[in-house]
Structure 1
């Protein structure tokens, strides 16, 4: 190996070790996920068995999905398929959103459920992390109190960590905009379900701006968007709203959200969701037997489910092919920073900049940038499966190649 390039690699490696060693977004990679609740017609929210898991995971793999999110414990067959197809799992641990978070008996019930799931699945190779709870009830949180709710969630976080010593597994909670005033910085990963059309604070601020605000609120922690999506229900406002979107609109809007998620510096996002769910929102009633045209909740899937309870088919919507496209794009593409003068950046992301003549352009170097210095061309590279958001930027100049630098 040429001596000067060997030195460059060594120095870059040292910098990475020094600046990027803590558990962070770097260790997660860019999460390209889908929410997976494979409840077929006739199945409620706790019933499994009709779905073809192998077919689903083959489809996910082809769509470049690398992670699924579940909402509670799932059959082990699902985890076996995830392992087989190399897809990570963020396993949900359901917490009653309207529970009394200050009540010790309720806490004990939550801990019992946490232990049941973690003890069964912590050694399964597909597990990436645990998501404790989803969208706590806002009214209930206001009644119990912000501080009491934070203490409740932190206690559950500490308990989950005590059960799983695997440092590569993270623990998070899927929060949502109505409760963005909760301080959940104790979690390993900050997670939010963010939909562009609701609530008004998101719609008015704009998807990118709101997501970026969250990223800046938690600069030391990875930010994961645990739900984003659009419903194709026949009845609804359409135009990017809650339901009534065409399948073409759904696909285009998912792409827009994904680009905003990446540009905002998130560690990834999870499309809501893989398949339409007929049961919503009546887990144990007869709603699971029909696909209601006026219920947007039943039509978020990338996979359409059509027919009747006893005779149904599955079909890939346009959204499936769009997700396949955007998840197949290298991480460095569609990022706004590539089109700006790197010399004027404020930091917040770690880059290594080296001379284009290094000869690596067919391997690690991604993108080309002309500095303000006439005739000086630079390349910027970003390790493909990493996300450096939240770290101080590294400006690395190779002195011998340029004759100057720092």
Structure 2
């Protein structure tokens, strides 16, 4: 290597942390685990990779589908779990046949029959623990205590009913809302650091301190109760960071969330989302999606999992001020899926990405919970109800493919997953 090139590369890597600081504040945010925090037994983080100790030392790449198995007439709005019935005998093989190796589950307490079907496969899963995202104050002690109790119940369910040896990680919280973030931060301007039993963070926003406390409490509970722990993260979205030099974020830079607290970075990255559509072009494909991924990788010191990406096939786009949220033709979705996959697999820094999860298996009739009967009808004006790769046949509650979307996922997750360019299936 030419000496001048070596010096330039060294200078680049020294400046990467400064770039992250410039996106958020004048000081660098840090997050670390204490030296005496035990490592998980199976899935561990080494640098910017997840390693499955049961299967060797090669980095894990999770090819996943989001899964919320509620059927028409069912809703989690009031805390109910999905039914413990025959549906899983259809759903789990369907996911296995799509070529995935990972299921990102959203219900807090999936029933026993799901896990019995999981046992028939070699599929892994991750547990999303949804935290009330609209809270008045995330640092309110009553909120923290109530949320920790809920997290403990999910951990207990994992060990009592779930499959802890198949679980990759727990994600604490998902898509906190901008107003709630700024409200919390404004109420606690001096709360910037936290040292827990396991999590240590510095120069963070007050909302990030709340997340650190929740993740630290969850780790400590699992270790004390069960003598082991899993990987932990918080799942955020591009509207509130962590890439700050975008004109369309919903929060000022000083309020941004950087989801690096815990073991890995989990982020929902939609093609049409704020922060993504205003990104510079990627180095290979020229898309703003790849441009966002490359900026994300440049600032990451931990493995990154894209926890959600997808398109709503609602009959029309109801919000002109949110372009891309709904109204996509079924026949156009495969092109976007292929483009997203190509963007990720050819991006600079792609070795930092630990996987990608398409959102999601089937349409969620129960969203957005406007009234108690919402789950009984498939609302044309609600894009949240139309993100499925499959649709539900209401007469039988069985799955029907949406055009070529399932076949496209099967192709991408199959033999061609390492191909930089993926042609039509």
TM-score scaled by length of structure 1: 0.71
Matched, 1:44 2:102: no
Q: CA-to-partner distance for each residue in 1:54-82, whole Å, 9 max, x for gaps?
A: 21111111111111112223223223322
Bigger Rg, which one: 1
Distance of 2:397 and 2:309 partners within structure 1? 26
Matched, 1:113 2:150: yes
Distance 1:280 1:21, change over 3 A: closer
Number of the residue aligned with 1:131: 171
Aligned partner (choices 91, 95, 100) of residue 65 of structure 1: 100
Tell whether the 8 Å contact from 2:268 to 2:309 is kept in structure 1 after alignment.
Answer: yes
Distance of 1:83 and 1:156 partners within structure 2? 30
SS across alignment from 2:169: strand
Number of the residue aligned with 1:399: none
Tell whether the 8 Å contact from 1:44 to 1:284 is kept in structure 2 after alignment.
Answer: no
Q: CA-to-partner distance for each residue in 1:277-330, whole Å, 9 max, x for gaps?
A: 1111017611111111222111110111134xx554420122111100001135
Number of the residue aligned with 1:209: 291
Q: After TM superposition, which residue ranges in structure 1, 4 or more long, deviate above 4 angstroms?
A: 165-168, 310-313
Distance of 1:80 and 1:254 partners within structure 2? 31
Distance 1:335 1:267, change over 3 A: farther
Tell whether the 8 Å contact from 1:95 to 1:134 is kept in structure 2 after alignment.
Answer: yes
Tell whether the 8 Å contact from 1:31 to 1:267 is kept in structure 2 after alignment.
Answer: yes
Aligned partner (choices 75, 96, 102) of residue 111 of structure 2: 75
Map 1:119-198 → 2, pairs under 5 A: 119-122=156-159, 124-145=164-185, 147-165=205-223, 169-180=230-241, 181-198=256-273
Distance of 2:405 and 2:270 partners within structure 1? 16
Aligned partner (choices 315, 322, 330) of residue 234 of structure 1: 315
Tell whether the 8 Å contact from 2:219 to 2:229 is kept in structure 1 after alignment.
Answer: no
Matched, 1:316 2:377: no
Number of the residue aligned with 1:295: 382
More helix by share: 1
Number of the residue aligned with 1:328: 414
Matched, 1:225 2:303: no
Distance of 2:382 and 2:393 partners within structure 1? 15
Distance of 1:75 and 1:158 partners within structure 2? 27
Distance 1:164 1:261, change over 3 A: farther
Distance of 2:240 and 2:102 partners within structure 1? 25
Distance of 1:21 and 1:215 partners within structure 2? 16
Distance of 1:331 and 1:324 partners within structure 2? 10
Number of the residue aligned with 1:34: 65
Tell whether the 8 Å contact from 1:25 to 1:267 is kept in structure 2 after alignment.
Answer: yes
Tell whether the 8 Å contact from 1:261 to 1:268 is kept in structure 2 after alignment.
Answer: no
Question: 1:113: how far off?
Answer: 1.1
Tell whether the 8 Å contact from 2:361 to 2:389 is kept in structure 1 after alignment.
Answer: yes
Distance of 1:23 and 1:121 partners within structure 2? 27
Matched, 1:278 2:361: no
Distance of 1:174 and 1:91 partners within structure 2? 11
Number of the residue aligned with 2:140: 103
Q: Which runs of 5+ in 1 are unaligned?
A: 1-19, 337-406
- Aligned-residue Cα RMSD (Å) equals 2.5
Distance of 2:102 and 2:370 partners within structure 1? 25
Distance of 1:257 and 1:156 partners within structure 2? 32
Number of the residue aligned with 1:350: none
TM-score scaled by length of structure 2: 0.68
Distance of 2:71 and 2:325 partners within structure 1? 22
Distance 1:162 1:283, change over 3 A: farther
Matched, 1:269 2:356: yes
Question: 1:168: how far off?
Answer: 7.7
Distance of 1:270 and 1:297 partners within structure 2? 17
Number of the residue aligned with 1:247: 330
Distance 1:282 1:171, change over 3 A: same
